[in-house]
């Protein structure tokens, strides 16, 4: 590989690969995907086993440090994160500066970006103690920031974290608790959200993770790189798909619930009409995460939202698509986001928060990739080439002659 790269560099040849469909930008030991077989493993462990037996913080440790933690290591890691959940009081005032109806994704990205103004020790971004501290601060503070973005959007007071609760319980209380009112945590909801975070924790070189690596490759600090990753996740073709699925299901319901009519619009390629939550750049088979999410949706929605017809509509849509030649021939299957929105909604989150939940889940993956990148001797600043197709040289024309 190195020889070919050198040859190409010296002869000036470049490959043109829009969307990097066939171009690897790095080597990585973190996550393995076999898109044809529908396999996903973090550090070698199958996603199905992690979803069933592990927890989000344990998986975060695994992704970031490469091995499952011992009991002591997990306790220390959890304690460190728990100690850093508070925000500087000045940072809390940022939330007053955004419009009340601001989307929480740019609010979250801005707040994460602002962390590098509060923790300027991070100006030596690649120093190991700084990277470690920034890692802990991000894992601890992003749920607090996310919950504050939500609280602002509903006009409710911001609560302080309750460090007697676990990671997900604390986040749920910060979102849905009120001052002076006890907040009762539903353990089934907390467990399901922890599992959904686990399923989202990494997915190798997706758009937002690549963004984190690209930004970090210029030696930008971890906060700046993650802030950029959050914005890459915002788009509806990536993390924004979980919200777009719900909008799509509500539209279908409001127009009489005819899934076949919607599928026909998709097949006719009406502008802007896609089967959101379907298709994936890498999976050409059922996304293994979608299978797990679907089972959780079935269980949880029966309990939390027994009269929600959207799950029924989603199931019908999937059935129709899985038997339709358009989707079969293009190998389009449900991805992780097809069913997550229904669960988030049943938990009480508004649609705008869905992609924020994805960001909390993806955070350890972004951090793991940033850290892998800065330790990889092969890392160079990301700087793709282009194939120029503009005009050949021509002489400047005075304005009155144009
Ligand atoms: N609905 C209808 N048709 C689709 C869909 C879809 N969801 N996805 C792909 N196709 C079609 C394309 O129109 C194209 O058809 P054509 O060959 O007739 O032109 C063919 O399938 C191949 O699709 P591409 O767009 O080339 O595939 P690509 O790998 O570039 O895109 C993507 C992948 C962006 C995920 C796409 O499938 C999509 O837009 N899906 C909907 C949005 C979504 O759910 N995104 C979440 C992805 S997972 C994640 O980020 C967590």
pTM of the model: 0.93
- The CA-CA-CA angle for residues 110, 112, 115, to 5°, reads 110
Shortest-distance Cα residue to atom 22 of ligand 1: 330
* Ligand 1 binding residues, C-beta < 6 A: 19, 237-239, 241, 266, 274-281, 330, 332, 335-337
3-state helix, strand, coil in the chain (%, to 5): 60, 5, 35
Shortest-distance Cα residue to atom 24 of ligand 1: 281
In this structure, the strands spanning 39-42 and 31-34 are: antiparallel
Give per-residue pLDDT as tens, 280-302: 999 998 899 999 999 999 899 98
The distance of Cα 374 from the centroid of its chain, to the nearest Å, equals 21
For ligand 1, pick from 230, 252, 279 the residue to mutate: most ligand atoms within 8 Å of CB: 279
Cα of 387 from ligand 1 centre, angstroms: 25
What ipTM, to 2 d.p.?
0.95
Give per-residue pLDDT as tens, 125-179: 788 999 999 999 999 999 999 999 999 989 999 999 999 999 999 999 999 999 9
Percent of the chain topping pLDDT 70: 97
Give per-residue pLDDT as tens, 317-361: 999 999 999 999 999 999 999 999 999 999 999 999 999 999 999
Would you name the residues annotated as active-site residues? Answer: 280, 337
Q: Which residue has the higher pLDDT, 9 or 254?
A: 254
Cβ neighbors of 148 (< 8 A, separation 6 or more) are: 87, 92, 95, 111, 158, 174
Helix (H) or strand (E) holding 34: strand 31-34
Give per-residue pLDDT as tens, 212-240: 999 999 999 999 999 999 999 999 999 99
State both tokens at 5.
Answer: 């790269």
Q: How far apart are CA 272 and CA 308, in angstroms?
A: 26
């Amino acid at each position: 590989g190195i020889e070919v790269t050198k040859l190409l560099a010296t002869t000036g040849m470049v490959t043109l690969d829009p969307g990097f469909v066939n171009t690897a930008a790095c080597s990585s030991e973190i996550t393995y995907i076999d898109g044809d077989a529908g396999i996903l493993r973090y550090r070698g462990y199958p996603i199905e086993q992690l979803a069933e037996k592990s927890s989000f913080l344990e998986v975060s440790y695994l992704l970031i440090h490469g091995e499952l933690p011992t009991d002591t290591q997990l306790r220390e890691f959890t304690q460190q994160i728990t100690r850093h959940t508070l925000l500087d009081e000045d940072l809390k005032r940022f939330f007053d500066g955004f419009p009340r109806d601001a989307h929480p994704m740019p609010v979250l990205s801005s707040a994460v970006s602002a962390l590098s103004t509060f923790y300027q020790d991070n100006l030596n971004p690649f120093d190991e103690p700084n990277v470690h501290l920034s890692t802990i601060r991000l894992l601890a503070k992003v749920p607090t920031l996310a919950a504050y973005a939500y609280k602002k959007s509903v006009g409710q007071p911001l609560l302080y974290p309750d460090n007697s609760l676990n990671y997900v319980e604390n986040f749920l209380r910060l979102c849905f608790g009120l001052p002076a009112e006890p907040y009762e945590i539903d353990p089934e909801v907390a467990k399901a959200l922890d599992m959904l975070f686990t399923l989202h924790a990494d997915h190798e070189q997706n758009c937002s993770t690549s963004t984190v690596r690209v930004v970090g490759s210029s030696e930008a600090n971890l906060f700046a790189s993650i802030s950029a990753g959050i914005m890459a996740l915002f788009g509806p073709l990536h993390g924004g798909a979980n919200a777009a699925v719900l909008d799509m299901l509500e539209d279908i319901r409001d127009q009489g619930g005819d899934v076949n009519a919607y599928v026909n619009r998709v097949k006719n390629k009406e502008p802007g009409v896609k089967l959101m939550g379907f298709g994936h750049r890498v999976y050409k088979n059922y996304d293994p995460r979608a299978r797990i999410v679907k089972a959780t949706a079935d269980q949880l929605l029966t309990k939390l939202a027994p009269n929600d017809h959207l799950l029924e509509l989603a199931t019908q849509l999937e059935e129709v698509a899985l038997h339709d030649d358009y989707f079969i021939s293009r190998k389009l299957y449900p991805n992780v986001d097809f069913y997550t929105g229904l669960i988030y909604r049943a938990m009480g989150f508004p649609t705008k928060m869905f992609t924020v939940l994805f960001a909390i889940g993806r955070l350890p993956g972004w951090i793991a990739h940033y850290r892998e990148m800065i330790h990889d001797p092969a890392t160079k600043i990301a700087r793709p080439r282009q194939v120029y197709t503009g005009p050949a040289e021509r002489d400047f024309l005075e304005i009155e002659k144009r």
